Amino acid sequence: MSALHQTHNISQNEQARALWISTVAFTICFAVWTIFSIIGVRIKDELGLGEAEFGLLIGMPILTGSMVRIVLGIWTSRFGGRLVYTATMAAAALATFLLAHATTYPQMLLAGLGVGLAGGSFAVGVAYVSPFFPPEKQGTALGIFGAGNVGAAVTKFLAPLLLVPFGWQVVAEVWAAALLLTAAVFWFTTEDDPQFRVRRNQRAPRKSLAAEFEPLRNVQVWRFALYYFFAFGGFVALALWLPRYLVGVYDFRLETAGMIAAAYSIPGSVFRAYGGALSDRIGARKIMYAMFAVSAVATLILSVPAGQVDGAIPIAVTPALFVVTIFVLGFVMSLGKAAVYKHIPAYYPNHVGAVGGVVGMMGGLGGFCLPIAFGFLKDVTGLWSSCFMLLFAIVAVSLVWMNASIRQFKRRAEAMPTGAYAR
């Protein structure tokens, strides 16, 4: 039975329960995944870590949470999202609790590996949620689920309230308890996804690993991955880089720069839900074209050298223009994040776990690698705006590749069944 027919027998109550409980769970997972953004500074001071050691510590969950997404996505296809999602949250909760009792740097790095599982839950959630909805509603559903990225703001706002009076260990213990409680609620209030139920009831044999990975030989999958590398990875990278950029270029106070970065991050997560609904309404392809077109203009403007290089180049982009442009960029990137994932169940309805895992992995790696690249380019060129030059290059390549692929696809469209691809 196809995913399209399965959704006809699912009640709206079951759809809503699966979507909203999964979204809340992902919000808590994302809060845990970004826990080092708050407690990392205190750990650095306690252990006397150098900058490189500190960077590795805070980056470890991001890296592992990205790399594990493909494995978790495939496990979801094989064992069902309800089981894998619950197990992932329980394992991440255990690692977060152990982090609170770690006393040495190697122990904390090891715990960070387990904390990273919380970030990998995104691939599980996408594969679990999408079968509950027909194709014309999957964009909206996955957009709402992806808005769980706001969990990063939860950590930024609430963790300091515990850290200051009680210490970072208490933050880790509370976050672990919250995640474990969420895992229990998820297990007892949700049901298996429709595709897994059909396979279980029909006792269909599981796909071989080779069959699970088969779609990854399709170049189209890696094209989607590049889109998400920019839309999600670039968004996360800018959220991390903005405070440093605003202080270095415009001499903002750190508190002001941090508030601007927070104001950039939160709407970007919320508008992802709107991007999903818009993708259902007018088509994900149109959203992608709009994202890349606006992003190309925005990154080109921001690529104008800002600040001074050896006292020779004056500020060319005013603070007001920079803030407006970066918010426009963040808005269209949030729409694009949802549009990318609208494509996956449309093109690969039977391989959402594997394909969604790869695309999510590349997006996470973008959030890990791009800030490093930004710093490297700044050191090499002396230009703060070199980070936007890199983003412009990624946008240009993506736009050209997408346009060429769509033109080629349209030439073959007459030979394909109606509705075989997303709009």
CATH number at residue 253: 1.20.1250.20
Number of helical H runs and strand E runs in the chain: 20, 0
Angle at 21 between CA 213 and CA 125, to 5 degrees: 10
Q: Is residue 213 part of a domain?
A: no
Is the predicted pLDDT of residue 310 greater than 80, yes or no? no
190 and 325 inside one domain: no
Question: What whole-number distance in Å separates Cα of residue 179 and Cα of residue 272?
Answer: 23
Q: Is residue 211 part of a domain?
A: no
Helix axes 168-189, 36-47, angle to 10 degrees: 150
| Residue pLDDT, tens place only, 384-407 | 889 999 999 999 999 999 998 888
Q: Is the pTM higher than 0.85? A: no
Q: Over pLDDT 90: what percentage of the chain?
A: 33
| Residue pLDDT, tens place only, 137-158 | 888 888 899 888 888 778 878 8
| Residue pLDDT, tens place only, 217-244 | 888 889 999 999 999 889 888 887 887 7
Choose the final residue of a domain: 206, 240, 264. 206
Token digits of residue 265: 């991050």
The reported pLDDT for the residue numbered 357 is 81
Label residue 314 by pLDDT band (50, 70, 90).
low
| Across 110-115, average pLDDT | 93
| Residue pLDDT, tens place only, 337-348 | 888 988 888 888
370 and 239 inside one domain: yes
250 and 370 inside one domain: yes
130 and 236 inside one domain: no
Burial class of residue 225 (count of CB atoms within 10 Å of its CB; 0-12, 13-18, 19+): buried
The reported pLDDT for the residue numbered 90 is 97
The reported pLDDT for the residue numbered 290 is 93
Choose the final residue of a domain: 170, 185, 206. 206
The Cα-based distances of 11 to 14, 82, 390 in angstroms read 5, 18, 46
Helix axes 117-129, 81-100, angle to 10 degrees: 160
Indicate the range of 122-131, 196-205, 371-380, 410-419 predicted with least confidence. 410-419
Amino acid at residue number 357: G
134 and 264 inside one domain: no
Question: What whole-number distance in Å separates Cα of residue 122 and Cα of residue 358?
Answer: 11
189 and 229 inside one domain: no
Range of the domain at 281: 218-412+419-423
| Residue pLDDT, tens place only, 37-65 | 788 878 888 898 886 787 788 888 888 88
Q: For the residues of 131-195, what is the DSSP string, one character each?
A: GGS-HHHHHHHHHHHHGGGGHHHHHHHHHHHHHHHH-HHHHHHHHHHHHHHHHHHHHHH----HH
Is the predicted pLDDT of residue 299 greater than 80, yes or no? yes
Token digits of residue 163: 């850290």
**Residues 234-263: b if buried by 16+ CB within 10 A, e if exposed:** bbbbbbbbbbbbbeebbebeeeebbebbbe
Indicate the range of 19-28, 48-57, 275-284, 297-306 predicted with least confidence. 48-57
Q: Is residue 404 part of a domain?
A: yes
Is the predicted pLDDT of residue 208 greater than 70, yes or no? no
Is the predicted pLDDT of residue 300 greater than 90, yes or no? yes
60 and 139 inside one domain: yes
Mean pLDDT of the chain: 84
Label residue 423 by pLDDT band (50, 70, 90).
very low
**Residues 342-365: b if buried by 16+ CB within 10 A, e if exposed:** bbbbbbbbbbbbbbbbbbbbbbbb
| Across 339-363, average pLDDT | 83
| Across 159-187, average pLDDT | 93
156 and 228 inside one domain: no
Choose the final residue of a domain: 206, 235, 256. 206
Q: How many domains does the chain have?
A: 2
Q: Is residue 386 part of a domain?
A: yes
Q: In angstroms, how far is CA 303 from the centroid of its own chain?
A: 25
